[in-house]
Amino acid sequence: MIKIDKINTAEALRYMCAADAADPILIQKVEATAAELLKIIKPVYTYKIFPIEFSESGILLSGTSLVLTGKSAREHFSGCHSVIAMAATLSGFADRFIQTAEISDMAKALIADSLCTAAIEQVCDIAESEIMSALPKENYYTWRFSAGYGDLPLDIQPLILRVLNAEKVIGLTINDSLIMLPRKSVTAFIGISDRPIEKKRKGCALCSMCKSCQYRQKGTHC
Amino acid sequence: MTFKELLKNKFVYLDGAMGTMLQRAGLKTGDIPELLNLTSPEVVFDIHKQYINAGSNIIYANTFGANGYKLKSCGHSVAEVIGAGIQNAKKACAGTDTLVALDIGPIGQLLEPTGSLTFEAAYDIFKEQIEAGKAADLIVFETMTDLYEVKAAVLAAKENCDLPIIVTMTFEENHRTFTGCSVSAMALTLQGLGVDAIGINCSLGPKELLPVVEELHKWCKIPMAVKPNAGLPDPATGAYNITKDQFADYVAQMANFGLKIVGGCCGTDPDYIRATIARLENTVATAPQKLLPTALCSYSNTVLVDRPRIIGERINPTGKKLLKEALKNNDINYILNLAISQAQAGADLLDVNVGLPGIDEKEMMKRAVKAVQSVTDLPLQIDSTIPEVLEAGLRVYNGKPLVNSVNGEEESLNKILPIVKKYGAAVLGLALDEGGIPPKAEQRFEIAKKIMERALAIGIPKEDIYIDCLCLTASAQQEAVMETLKAIKMVKDELGLKTVLGVSNISFGLPQRGLVNSTFLTMAMSYGLDLGIINPNIKEMTGAVRAFRLLKGYDKNSVDFIEAYSEVEDAPKPAAASTDMTLDYAIHKGLKEDARRITEKLLETQDSMEVVNGIIVPALDSIGALFEKGKIFLPQLILSAGVAQEAFEVIKKKMIEANNAPVSKGKVILATVKGDIHDIGKNIVKVLLENYGYTVVDLGKDVPYEAVVEAVIEHDAKLVGLSALMTTTLVSMAETIELIRQNQLDCEVVVGGAVLTPDYAKEIGADYYAKDAKETVDIAKKVLG
**Closest chain B residue by Cα to residue A158:** B30
CATH code: domain of residue B415? 3.20.20.20
In a domain, A217, yes or no: no
In terms of Cα–Cα distance, which of B593, B569, B518 is closest to B548? B518
Burial class, B161, CB count within 10 angstroms (exposed 0-12 / middle 13-18 / buried 19+): middle
CATH code: domain of residue A147? 3.40.109.40
State how far the alpha carbon of A53 is from the alpha carbons of A66, A78, B26, B404, in Å.
11, 11, 19, 64
Cβ–Cβ below 8 Å for B110 and A181: yes
Cβ–Cβ below 8 Å for A96 and B115: no
B571 to chain A nearest CA, in Å? 7
- How many independent structural domains does chain A possess? 1
In a domain, A187, yes or no: yes
Cβ–Cβ below 8 Å for B676 and A177: yes
Cβ–Cβ below 8 Å for A64 and B30: yes
A75 to chain B nearest CA, in Å? 24
pLDDT of residue B246: 96
In terms of Cα–Cα distance, which of B739, B738, B769 is closest to B754? B769
Tell me, yes or no, whether B582 and B729 share the same domain.
Answer: no
Tell me, yes or no, whether B125 and B265 share the same domain.
Answer: yes
In a domain, B153, yes or no: yes
* Contact between residue B3 and residue B99 where contact means Cβ atoms under 8 Å apart: yes
In a domain, B628, yes or no: yes
- How many independent structural domains does chain B possess? 4
Tell me, yes or no, whether B275 and B389 share the same domain.
Answer: no
Q: Which range among A83-97, B201-215, B588-602, B656-670 shows the weakest confidence by mean pLDDT?
A: B656-670
pLDDT digits (tens, 9 = 90+) for B290-345: 889 999 999 999 999 999 999 999 999 998 888 998 998 888 989 999 999 999 99
Cβ–Cβ below 8 Å for B635 and A111: yes
pLDDT digits (tens, 9 = 90+) for B170-189: 999 999 999 999 999 999 99
B571 phi/psi in degrees, rounded to 5: -70, 160
Tell me, yes or no, whether B168 and B193 share the same domain.
Answer: yes
Residue among B177, B236, B728 minimizing CB distance to A177: B728
DSSP B663-723: PPS-EEEEEEBTT----HHHHHHHHHHHHTTPEEEE--SSB-HHHHHHHHHHHT-SEEEEE
* Contact between residue B481 and residue B520 where contact means Cβ atoms under 8 Å apart: yes
* Cα–Cα distance, B777 to A12 (Å, whole number): 26
Length of chain B: 785
Query: Over 70: is that where the pLDDT of B570 sits?
Result: no
pLDDT of residue B274: 97
In a domain, B571, yes or no: no
Q: Which domain holds residue A44?
A: 9-198
Q: Which residues of A touch B114 (CB under 8 A)?
A: 92, 95-96, 99, 181-182
Cβ–Cβ below 8 Å for B178 and A18: no
Q: Which domain holds residue B680?
A: 667-784
Cβ–Cβ below 8 Å for A1 and B174: yes
* Contact between residue B148 and residue B370 where contact means Cβ atoms under 8 Å apart: no
For residue B100, the surrounding DSSP H or E stretch is strand B99-104
* Contact between residue B368 and residue B352 where contact means Cβ atoms under 8 Å apart: yes
Query: Over 90: is that where the pLDDT of B578 sits?
Result: no
Residue among B178, B337, B340 minimizing CB distance to A171: B178
pLDDT bracket for residue A22 (50, 70, 90): confident
Residue among B113, B179, B676 minimizing CB distance to A171: B179
On average, the pLDDT of chain B sits at 93
Query: Over 80: is that where the pLDDT of A2 sits?
Result: yes
pLDDT digits (tens, 9 = 90+) for B123-166: 999 999 999 999 999 999 999 999 999 999 999 999 999 999 99
In terms of Cα–Cα distance, which of B406, B399, B345 is closest to B369? B399
pLDDT of residue B310: 98
B324 phi/psi in degrees, rounded to 5: -60, -45
Query: Over 80: is that where the pLDDT of B235 sits?
Result: no
Rounded to the nearest 10 degrees, the angle between the axes of helix A106-133 and helix B634-657 is: 140
Query: Mean pLDDT, to the nearest integer, of B9-33?
Result: 91
pLDDT of residue B658: 78
pLDDT of residue A199: 67
pLDDT of residue B567: 64
Query: Mean pLDDT, to the nearest integer, of B647-652?
Result: 88
CATH code: domain of residue B621? 1.10.1240.10
| Final residue before a domain boundary, out of B626, B657, B688 | B657
Q: Which residues of A touch B642 (CB under 8 A)?
A: 105-107
In a domain, B572, yes or no: no
Residue among A20, A95, A178 minimizing CB distance to B728: A178
* Cα–Cα distance, B61 to B83 (Å, whole number): 10
In a domain, A154, yes or no: yes
Tell me, yes or no, whether B155 and B66 share the same domain.
Answer: yes
In a domain, B286, yes or no: no
In terms of Cα–Cα distance, which of A104, A112, A118 is closest to A35? A112
Tell me, yes or no, whether B616 and B637 share the same domain.
Answer: yes
% of chain B beyond a pLDDT of 90? 79
Q: Which residues of A touch B728 (CB under 8 A)?
A: 154, 177-179
Using the Cβ of B337 and the Cβ atoms of chain A, whether some distance falls under 8 Å is answered with yes
Q: Which residues of A touch B687 (CB under 8 A)?
A: 106
| Final residue before a domain boundary, out of B630, B657, B684 | B657
In terms of Cα–Cα distance, which of B5, B37, B4 is closest to B18? B37
pLDDT bracket for residue A177 (50, 70, 90): confident
In a domain, A209, yes or no: no
Q: Which residues of B touch A131 (CB under 8 A)?
A: 235
List beta partners, residue B165: B139
- Choose from B633, B637, B701, B725 for mutation: most chain A CBs within 10 A: B633
Q: Taking the CB of residue B73, how many other CB atoms lie within 10 A of it?
A: 5
Tell me, yes or no, whether B342 and B476 share the same domain.
Answer: yes
- Cβ-Cβ pairs closer than 8 A, A with B, add up to 180
Q: Which residues of A touch B631 (CB under 8 A)?
A: none
Q: Taking the CB of residue B118, how many other CB atoms lie within 10 A of it?
A: 14
pLDDT digits (tens, 9 = 90+) for B731-780: 999 999 999 999 999 999 999 988 888 999 999 999 999 988 889 999 99
Interfacial B residues in 539-568 facing A (CB < 8 Å) = none
In a domain, A1, yes or no: no
In terms of Cα–Cα distance, which of B454, B456, B426, B423 is closest to B194? B423
In terms of Cα–Cα distance, which of B209, B207, B211 is closest to B243? B207
Query: Mean pLDDT, to the nearest integer, of B385-405?
Result: 97
Rounded to the nearest 10 degrees, the angle between the axes of helix B480-490 and helix B513-526 is: 30
Tell me, yes or no, whether B699 and B598 share the same domain.
Answer: no
Query: Over 60: is that where the pLDDT of B569 sits?
Result: no
In angstroms, what is the C-alpha Rg of chain B?
30
In a domain, A139, yes or no: yes
Burial class, A103, CB count within 10 angstroms (exposed 0-12 / middle 13-18 / buried 19+): buried
- Choose from A177, A185, A187, A211 for mutation: most chain B CBs within 10 A: A177
In terms of Cα–Cα distance, which of B122, B148, B88 is closest to B300? B148
Q: Which amino acid is at A56?
A: E
Tell me, yes or no, whether B94 and B201 share the same domain.
Answer: yes
In a domain, A181, yes or no: yes
Tell me, yes or no, whether B378 and B236 share the same domain.
Answer: no
In terms of Cα–Cα distance, which of B730, B727, B701 is closest to B116? B701
**DSSP label at B408?**
S
State how far the alpha carbon of B230 is from the alpha carbons of B227, B234, B707, in Å.
10, 11, 50
A25 vs A186, higher pLDDT:
A186
Q: Which amino acid is at A86?
A: M
* Cα–Cα distance, B343 to B315 (Å, whole number): 12
pLDDT of residue A23: 81
In a domain, B289, yes or no: no
* Contact between residue B86 and residue B63 where contact means Cβ atoms under 8 Å apart: yes
In a domain, A4, yes or no: no
The edge-to-edge listing of strands for the beta sheet with B138-144 is: B12-13, B259-262, B224-227, B197-201, B165-169, B138-144, B99-104, B58-60
Cβ–Cβ below 8 Å for A107 and B172: no
* Contact between residue B668 and residue B696 where contact means Cβ atoms under 8 Å apart: yes
* Cα–Cα distance, B107 to B90 (Å, whole number): 24
pLDDT digits (tens, 9 = 90+) for B603-620: 999 888 888 889 998 999
Tell me, yes or no, whether B26 and B79 share the same domain.
Answer: yes
pLDDT bracket for residue A210 (50, 70, 90): low
Tell me the whole-structure pTM to 2 decimals.
Answer: 0.91
